[in-house]
Amino acid sequence: MQTETMNVTGMTCGGCVSKVTQALTALPGVGHVDVSLPGKACVDFDEKLTSRERLQAAVKDAGYWVAGGKEATASRTKGGCCG
Ligand SMILES: [Cu+2]
């Protein structure tokens, strides 16, 4: 198991936290997920089953961004659970 800490941008409330948590938990090989405001996600994952890139993609698919990721500077077209 590896632990990845990501800076997630775009989360504004508890609904966002659970959305990101669910998106990460749904990936194969992901164990404990701890997401907290304003934008931190700690993920335990099995590096044989998933990768950092997939974790970041899951966050992106949920409508958020990972700071330091490839597209961190791209403008957000969606995001948040409320908007
Ligand atoms: Cu929200």
CA of 14 to the centre of ligand 1 (A): 6
CATH top-level class of 2-67: alpha beta
Residue 78: per-residue pLDDT: 56
Residue 53: per-residue pLDDT: 94
Q: What is the pLDDT of residues 10-56, one digit of tens each?
A: 999 999 999 999 999 999 999 999 999 999 999 999 999 999 999 99
pLDDT at 71 > cutoff 70 = no
Q: Which residues contact 59 (CB under 8 A, 6 or more apart)?
A: 6, 8, 20, 23, 24, 41, 65, 66
> Tokens 């997630």 sit at which residue?
8
CA of 42 to the centre of ligand 1 (A): 18
CA of 45 to the centre of ligand 1 (A): 25
CA of 35 to the centre of ligand 1 (A): 13
How is the chain split into domains, by residue range?
2-67
pLDDT at 63 > cutoff 60 = yes
Between helix 14-25 and helix 52-61 the angle, nearest 10°, is 140
Question: Is the pLDDT higher at 50 or at 72?
Answer: 50
CA of 48 to the centre of ligand 1 (A): 32
